[in-house]
Amino acid sequence: MVDRTKSSPGSSQRRKMRRIFWSIALVLGLSMALPLTGLLVTGNMAGEAVAQQSQDDAAALAQSEQQRRDFWRQARQGVSGYSAVEGPETGVLIQSGGDVWRSVREGPVKFWGGIVLLATLAMLILFHLVAGAVKLEQRTGRTITRWSVFERTIHWFTAILFIILAITGLSLLFGRTVLIPVIGKEGFAAWAALAKPIHDWLAVPFIIGLVLMMVPWLKDSLPKAHDWTWIKMGGGYLDKSKHPPAGFVNAGEKIWYWFLFFGGIVLTISGVFLLFPNLGFERGAMQLASIAHAISGVALIAFSLGHIYLGTIGNEGSLEGMVTGEVDEAWAKAHHSIWYDEIKKQGSRPASSSAPQGAGQAPAT
């Protein structure tokens, strides 16, 4: 038998070599693993640093945003700063009243202004369809001078300017809402570039014409006792069989006169603010002037629609007086009976008739 408890020198040598190999492998493996443990440690630290940096960045950003909001809040509250503007608003970075002005102009002014104009047109059309125009029962063929050449000239001069200013002004106020859907942005831009200077340049001659027209009619437009009777009778438009008493100017014309008088003052003063901003007006004052100008302009336009209707197709014979200066005696007696009686008492002879005297016509006195 062979004794196997004793190993040969060759096998002992091989075991020794295996122990050396695995020892070297273990050392090499540990040498490679140790850097990885450092990477894990530093990676964890880096992650914590990144998280901390993100928190710091978020806090810095929030602080920056808060500082920015505080800065602009203070600027809106009027804290002065540097600006290149010279004049009353030097150092004003933000004039926050512009937000209020825009919301008022684009909101209540345009909405209610449009409602007033459309409602006025609708009421006039409805009234004309239901009640119709006031006709003269018969003409005498004899006329009375009512308006002088100067009065007619200044009236038409001012009226034509008023119509042009009304069209251009309404275009600038309602153009983006009404005109852009019809003629497009390019078309409206071209029209606005023309309407704005026309509106500005015609404003001054309109003011001059308005003053020249209003001053001579001031005395005749003062209220009288019989004006209340005219108002209670609705000017004779509700019951056309009865004509209320009236002097040279009836109560309706007096109401229009004083509405135009005070409205014209507001329109003129506000227009001066808008026409001459370089006179040193503050932006807040100009914003108030813009709102006042729009409101007074819309109100006068709406009132003028009634005046135009009654002075043309609403009353037969009224337009003739402002065109020729002469009115038929029948018209004078029906619409201005007190004035007609005064003319007759003064012994003034009516102007010569341009039409032959027909049956039923009273002879001239």
pLDDT number for residue 285: 85
Res 209: pLDDT: 96
DSSP labels, 58-70 = HHHHHHHHHHHHH
User: Which residue type occupies 269?
Assistant: I
pLDDT (average), residues 103-120: 94
Tokens of 9: 């020198």
In terms of C-beta density within 10 A (0-12 exposed, 13-18 middle, 19 or more buried), how is residue 18 classed?
Answer: exposed
Q: Is 328 helix (H, G, I), strand (E, B) or coil?
A: strand
| Residue 262 pLDDT greater than 60, yes or no | yes
Report the alpha-carbon distance of residue 348 to residue 69 in Å, rounded. Answer: 79
The mean pLDDT of 241-268, rounded to a whole number, is 93
Angle at 175 between CA 173 and CA 177, to 5 degrees: 100
C-alpha span between 61 and 54 (Å, rounded): 10
Instruction: Give the pLDDT of residue 28.
Output: 60
Tokens representing 350 are: 């009516």
Per-residue confidence band for 353, with pLDDT thresholds at 50, 70 and 90: very low
How far apart CA 171 and CA 178 sit, in angstroms, is 8
Model confidence pLDDT, tens digit, residues 29-77: 655 555 555 445 555 555 555 566 677 677 777 777 777 776 666 666 6
| 230, pLDDT greater than 80 | yes
* pLDDT at residue 204 is higher than 60: yes
Question: Is residue 98 very low, low, confident or very high in pLDDT (cuts 50, 70, 90)?
Answer: confident
Helix (H), strand (E) at residue 145: strand 143-145
Domain ranges of the chain: 11-73, 101-148+217-345
pLDDT at 190 over 90: yes
> For residue 7, is pLDDT > 70?
no
Mean pLDDT, rounded, of the chain: 81
Fold entry, domain 101-148+217-345 = Fumarate Reductase Cytochrome B subunit (1.20.950)
